[in-house]
Amino acid sequence: MTNVSGRCRSLLRSPFLIVFIVVTVFSSHHVVAAAAAKKNEYPQGQVHGTPIDLTKETFPQALEDPMNKFWFFKFYAPWCGHCKRMTPVLQTIAPKVKGKMAIGKIDCTKQKPLCNEYGVRGFPTLMYSINGEFFDYHGGRDEKSLLKFAEKMSSPPITTVKRLEEATRFSMTKTDDGVAFLASDKTKESSKLYEIFEQVARKNQASVHFLWMTQSVNDADNGIESAYISRVEAGVVEPRYYDLNGDDALTVEKVEAWIHDFNVPTIVTLGPDNFSRISKKKRPLVMALVDLDNQELVEGTRKHMMDFVLTTPQETVDKYYYGLFDGKKWQKFLEQFHVKPEDNPQYLVLDMPNKKYWRNETYTKLKDFLIAVYDGSIEAKTPDKTGMGDTPFAWIAEKFMAYFPYSLGPVVILFCLIIILVTPSKEEFQSRVPQRDVDDDVDDEDDDDGAEEKETSDDDNNNKGEQIESKKDK
């Protein structure tokens, strides 16, 4: 044993061992540094078929990659439930959209400056970039929606048609909501209208369908305007036309604003994918609260609303958007408007930007209901619930997330202070214990001691008895 200890001491004193340790530590440091550097390297020169983790260093490289010009970005946090649900979806579609859309992931708990730079305030924040220009993504998060999005964005922003019938067929078969915007001009090559229309189309390709109709020389003689922008909707006979009169009518800003305003179906079925986007627009939203599983009720309500739209002056119709809302499925959401399920179907006007609503279940006809809203017979009310961003808790939560993970420090300190304050001292603890219970415990201990002493005495007596009997036998 002594020899072994001596050998160990001599080995520890050996200069060779010291050199070995220094070299090992130095090499390990370089391996770690190389791994970190490799992590910050962007895989150049390849079309991506898997989601790519991006950092502050690799993000600009991805935007400049000529092999991947169209990017879909997910800014996320590892603890976010919605983010986790999107992970397998993105992994599934990545090889299917290879060459059309690259997918990038940014962990905002590790890349806080990058996320702040792009205004990330919630998770997941979804954006897409074409040639370095960024846009927010408001579409569906399921596989089908993302595949359609990638296909649409990899196609030209404007589809060419030859006849109005083709445009109508396109709106019926190639769009989700039946709405498309059609423009035309005889002199396409030199047309200012086409130039403006194309700019608007490139900026709004993700959410709007754009069509261009070629014209023959005789089209004007057949009643077709030489230049126009119109809204075409499946199931609606008359298209809507943009007013081109005026010197400053044809600008990107005005055409884009008109298209945004009318890029909603006449009667829209409201759901998670479109409710937020439509309800936040400038017009109030007229909602028919129905059970969407009841097809007969749905079709009857839709027809009633469409009849109102088609027989009412246009300036009155254009004050609102109109939609069907599932009053059965979203019953909890509707409680803030004092909606009782047994009163459905009924109408509700919601002005989300101004946090107002109008409701009265006694009106069964849409026209009478809107007249009552207009003349004040039905008064505006405020929802019981405010938006989460308006509550004090939401403000604290927003600040906590904005400075995460550094915001954990004050929380831990506060938690420790609370524990210290509520934990009693030894003297306080003893003073809180009932005296009677202590005495009882002491008495019990005395009884136990007495019992033990009695048992010991009995054992001694037995031993003495055995010794006496042994002597007698002898």
Q: Do residue 312 and residue 369 come from a single domain?
A: yes
Q: What is the pLDDT of residues 341-365, one digit of tens each?
A: 999 999 999 999 999 999 999 999 9
Coil/strand/helix, residue 280: coil
Q: The CATH number of the domain where 171 resides is what?
A: 3.40.30.10
Q: Do residue 162 and residue 280 come from a single domain?
A: no
Q: Does residue 166 sit within a domain?
A: yes
Interatomic CA distance for residues 202 and 130, integer angstroms: 10
pLDDT (0 to 100) of residue 133 = 86
Q: Do residue 384 and residue 279 come from a single domain?
A: yes
User: For residue 393, how far is the Cα from the chain centroid?
Assistant: 20
Angle between helices 192-203 and 252-262 (to 10 degrees): 60
Residue 83 has pLDDT above 60, yes or no: yes
The least confident of 70-74, 199-203, 306-310, 461-465 is: 461-465
Contacts of 269 (CB under 8 A, 6+ apart): 292, 323, 324
Q: What is the pLDDT of residues 292-333, one digit of tens each?
A: 999 999 999 999 999 999 999 999 999 999 999 999 999 999
The least confident of 122-126, 193-197, 460-464 is: 460-464
The least confident of 119-123, 175-179, 194-198, 446-450 is: 446-450
Q: What share of the chain is helix, strand, coil (3-state, %, to 5)?
A: 50, 15, 35
Which of residues 263, 289, 305 is at a domain's end? 263
Which of residues 343, 368, 391 is at a domain's end? 391
Q: Does residue 29 sit within a domain?
A: no
Give me the number of domains the chain comprises. Answer: 3
Domain coverage including residue 317? 265-391
CA nearest to 136, candidates 128, 145, 124, 144: 128
Q: Does residue 109 sit within a domain?
A: yes
Using CB atoms within 10 A of its CB, is residue 419 exposed (0-12), middle (13-18) or buried (19+)? exposed
- What's the pLDDT band for 273 if we cut at 50, 70, 90? confident
Which of residues 203, 233, 263 is at a domain's end? 263
- Tokens 């002199």 locate to 187
How does DSSP assign 53-99, residue by residue? E--TTTHHHHHT-TT--EEEEEEE-TT-HHHHHHHHHHHHHTTTTTT
Residue 51 has pLDDT above 50, yes or no: yes
pLDDT (average), residues 441-470: 46
